Amino acid sequence: MADVREQRIFSAEQIFVPPELPVILKHYAKEVIRSNPGDIVEFSAKYFRDLLEKRKTSQDKNAFSEVQKPDSKYHS
């Protein structure tokens, strides 16, 4: 991956957004709002570690759909 500091972005067309990013961020944001964690960094680290583990054990390692999200076990 190229160093971001060396790349200049001049237009929206130059930005590549991975197709799964909006879905991942949507589910993450919902869990943060639902849980209202005291330590958002700790919460986030656990959320994404769990997501990574779930994707590792999934049959389709490249897929991330609306139904493939971490279990709602992040509530305080």
3-state secondary structure of 69: coil
pLDDT at position 67, please?
43
Q: How far apart, in Å, are the Cα atoms of 63 and each of 21, 23, 38, 58?
A: 11, 11, 31, 9
By CB atoms closer than 10 A (0-12, 13-18, 19+), residue 12 is exposed
In one letter, which amino acid is 42? E
pLDDT digits (tens, 9 = 90+) for 22-66: 999 999 999 999 999 999 999 999 999 999 998 888 876 555 655
